[in-house]
Structure 1
Amino acid sequence: MARSQLPPLASVRAFESAARHGSFTRAGNELGLTQAAVSYQIKVLEERVGQPLFHRKPRGVELTQVGTALAKKTGDALNLIADAFAEAQGNAQGTLTMSVIPTFATNFLAERLGQFQIAHPGIAVRLEVSETLVDFHSGIIDVAIRSGRGDWPDLECHKLIDVEFTPMLSPALAESIGGITRPEDLLKLPILGGLDPWWIRWFGSAGVDATDIGDLPGQTFGPQVLEATAAIAGHGVAMVTPAFFRDAEKNGQLIRPFDITCSDGRAYWLTYSHAFRNTPKIKAFRTWLAHEISTFLDAVE
């Protein structure tokens, strides 16, 4: 097809968004258009194609066979355009802004980011420590590291580390009750974050009924790194991912009283918009982080 015969870009964008969301309304929300405007743009495209691209249904829309074939290619084409503009704007060399949950930021990333900047002196890094949701469409955040199951729609998700957890406490606190010999001994001490479901799961694995653990004395600090800090200070027992606190364990600040480690199926993930998966600064960070994670896990084992 001659370029002069190409359909309007607005129609292509509306179609690609509606195909991805399975909804004209959600496509409109993404593009800042009304549902009627999205419907009009898709009608323009259908007239160019000469046949329907969607089956209109009472509760949404569904791609036709022709629409399904077209959706993938238009998505790839728009991603290429987005990548080209990112490079043209200088995003290959510039600032990489990341949003990272507190424990991963403090106990893994902060001490290693200098190595990334040495390897990539043209990329500045801005680290935002946060647990709030990220809107990648805003253009403010380039990548995020979150815990979950990696099933976030429209995002590239790379698994980093499985979320595992076990109780840890200071040696002095353990000795305050004559030592910890049985899992139920932990219930004699202040429990940090007792409302966290990890506690019920761990005690269940240890064969202890702890359904009332949330009623025990203790405090809640939120992120693991804060509860681990409180545990080091002797304020209670923290339920944490031991790999992140192995230095505290090596230097005797924390102990792991039992070799029982649980998981709830979640992991830490590197995420970013699918549209920018080929942006050079994101590719560079993804490659570097994968190597650092591999080295970290080898050391843990």
Structure 2
Amino acid sequence: MARSSLPPLAAVRAFEAAARHGSFTSSGRELGLTQAAVSYQIKVLEERVGQPLFHRRARGVELTHVGTELAKKASAALDVIADAFAEAQGSAQATLEISVIPTFATNFLAERLGRFQIAHPNIAVRLEVSETLIDFQSDTFDIAIRSGKGQWPDLECHKLIEIEFTPMLSPALAETIGGVSKPEDLLKLPILGGGDPWWVRWFEKAGVNSDVLKGRPSQTFGPQILEATAAMAGQGVAMLTPAFFKSAIDSRQLIRPFELCSSDETAYWLTYAHAYRNTPKVKAFRSWLVQEVDGFLQTEKQRGYVSRASSLADRD
């Protein structure tokens, strides 16, 4: 039989339910339809078949001989479709694929992801660290975490953590100039990523003319985690987000000479395609991340590592 001649699935479902219940009204309750809607769908099917499928009785309906034979095969066919869909859905929900930028992956997500796995043992997580923008139409990722201003078209974007930054360096490097007590002292030392606009913004907020950075040699490291590693090795002063390097500060691998932080309205964002917004695994991860981020922000605000903290749920 040519598939082009197949009847509408809605009509088949209405017929199969009515055949099981022996009632248009009861099948309507199962399918969320009115009795009239069920009757219409069955009429569509009867017109396709070319003969009645039910005898209409005063107390319900009764299958005709043709209807009885059709009901057996329709029920079996719907079972096959249901099983195939359940299998596909189970496979899709089994693995959550996340693309995340290096600093957020290393300094936030990696040390917490185990808690998500414990809370959701049926969801396996595949994590890829990358700064490459994700095309959800062609890539296999369900979720991406990126930094920016959340202006990505056709994506659901949820702000996670607003990015603040301040200069940080190793204690040993600071001692080479007798310590750092004022912003201008930083200019006596190598500046890592001196071409980064963050330096200009921070110096201007500190009351230092950013022109002092012009003409200085500049190394480009990319992710914050790489600049932080170079700074801990005494290679220069890095502009970093203090909340992500609290362990290095607590262990004195890095020092933060000034409380002053600056920002440029960028943040870390959770992003995914609109079509994924109601996917159970995506909803589970987002709900978990809301709690983790809120707890992190409140704790770090109390410790002085962030100057602002607000609920993710309030920001959506």
Tell me if both proteins adopt one fold, taking TM over 0.5 as the criterion: yes
The residue correspondences of 1:37-116 to structure 2 (distance < 5 A) are 88-91=88-91, 93-116=93-116
CA drift of 1:87 comes to 8.2
Distance in 1 between residues matched to 2:135 and 2:86, nearest whole Å: 17
Residues in 1 aligned to 2:216 and 2:138: alpha-carbon distance in whole angstroms:
43
- State the AA in 1 paired with 2:190: P
Aligned to 1:39: none
What secondary structure, in the 3-state scheme, does the structure 1 residue paired with 2:117 have? helix
Please state whether the residue corresponding to 2:270 is helix, strand or coil: strand
C-alpha distance after superposition, 1:97-119 (max 9, x if no partner): 11101100010011111111111
Number of the residue aligned with 1:65: none
TM-score by length of 2: 0.67
Q: Deviations over 1:141-173 (max 9, x none)?
A: 110000111121111111100011100001111
Q: 1:87 to 1:150 in 2, by over 3 A?
A: farther
Count of residue correspondences: 222
Shift of the 86–274 alpha-carbon distance from structure 1 to 2, 3 Å rule, reads farther
What SS does the aligned partner of 1:104 have?
Answer: helix
Q: CA deviation at 1:212?
A: 4.4
Q: Which residue does the alignment assign to 1:181?
A: 181
- Tell me the distance in 1 between the aligned counterparts of 2:293 and 2:91: 25
Instruction: Show CA shifts across 1:146-204 (max 9, x none).
Output: 01111211111111000111000011111110011110100100000011000000000
CA distance in 1, matches of 2:112, 2:86: 26
Q: Which runs of 5+ in 2 are unaligned?
A: 1-6, 11-83, 302-316
- Kept in 2, the 8 Å contact 1:86–1:92? The answer is no
Show the 5 A alignment for 1:147-226: 147-226=147-226
- What CA distance in whole angstroms lies between the structure 2 residues aligned with 1:86 and 1:133? 32
1:152/1:176 Cα in 2 relative to 1: closer, same or farther (>3 Å)?
same
The separation in 1 between residues aligned to 2:134 and 2:254, in whole angstroms, is 33
User: Cα 1:233–1:128, aligned 2, differ >3 Å: closer, same or farther?
Assistant: same
What is the DSSP-based 3-state SS (H/G/I as helix, E as strand, rest coil) of the residue aligned with 1:146?
A: strand
Q: Whole-Å Cα distance in 2 between the matches of residues 90 and 215 of structure 1?
A: 58
For 1:286, the equivalent position in structure 2 comes to 286
- Match for 1:269: what amino acid? W
Cα pair 1:98 1:128 within 8 Å, conserved: yes
Q: Amino acid of the residue matched to residue 249 of structure 1?
A: I
CA distance in 2 between partners of 1:109 and 1:163 (Å) = 16
Q: 1:122 to 1:202 in 2, by over 3 A?
A: same
Maintained 8 Å contact 1:91/1:279: no
Specify the SS of the correspondent of 1:122. coil
Report the Cα offset of residue 85 of structure 1: 6.5
The residue number in structure 1 matching 2:241 is: 241
* Aligned partners of 1:143 and 1:271 also within 8 Å: yes
Task: Let me know the Cα RMSD of the aligned residues.
Answer: 2.1
Distance 1:280 1:86 in 2: 14
- Report the alpha carbon displacement of residue 138 of structure 1 after superposing the two structures with TM: 1.8
- Distance 1:138-1:200 versus aligned 2 partners, 3 A rule: same
Cα displacement (A) at 1:214 = 5.0
Q: Is the 8 A contact 1:204 1:210 kept in 2?
A: yes
> Could you tell me how far 1:218 is from its partner in structure 2?
4.6
Q: What SS does the corresponding residue of 1:126 show, helix, strand or coil?
A: strand
Counterpart of 1:198 in structure 2: which amino acid? Answer: W
Q: How far, CA to CA, are the matches of 2:236 and 2:273 in structure 1? A: 40
Q: State the identity %.
A: 71
Q: Deviations over 1:219-253 (max 9, x none)?
A: 22111000001101111000011110011111111
* TM-score (norm. length: structure 1): 0.70
CA distance in 1, matches of 2:152, 2:234: 38
Q: Which amino acid aligns with 2:98?
A: M
Looking at structure 2, the residues matched to 87 and 194 of structure 1 have their Cα atoms a distance apart, in angstroms, of 53
